[in-house]
Amino acid sequence: NAGVTQTPKFQVLKTGQSMTLQCAQDMNHNSMYWYRQDPGMGLRLIYYSASEGTTDKGEVPNGYNVSRLNKREFSLRLESAAPSQTSVYFCASSEKRWGEQYFGPGTRLTVT
């Protein structure tokens, strides 16, 4: 039982490049989330998926898109990376929409 897994662990992009961050959970959770963590800013919600087949914007969605591929997987895509998207990205999941969230190990992204 791995919990929440994320790939890749590290990534360096040039401005304008695109990439997809992958997230999977094996806890049969209904809800999944993408956060970014910046120094002094705490964790901020980018997008979430309350259940399979639905996605909604969080606090900072601009420049990102998401796909809830199935119940297990929730991906985050940067279509045209910008230096302001340099951050650590965390995926999380929870059994219910309102409840305890469990986090993955993070993806450290640098955009130059």
Asked if residue 63 binds other proteins (CB under 8 A), the reply is: no
Asked if residue 34 binds other proteins (CB under 8 A), the reply is: no
Asked if residue 58 binds other proteins (CB under 8 A), the reply is: yes
DSSP string, 12-65: EE-TT--EEEEEEESS--SEEEEEEEETTTEEEEEEEESSTT--EE-S--TTEE
Closer residue to other proteins (CB): 14 or 42? 42
Using CB under 8 A, list all residues that contact other proteins.
4, 40-45, 48, 58-59, 90, 97-106
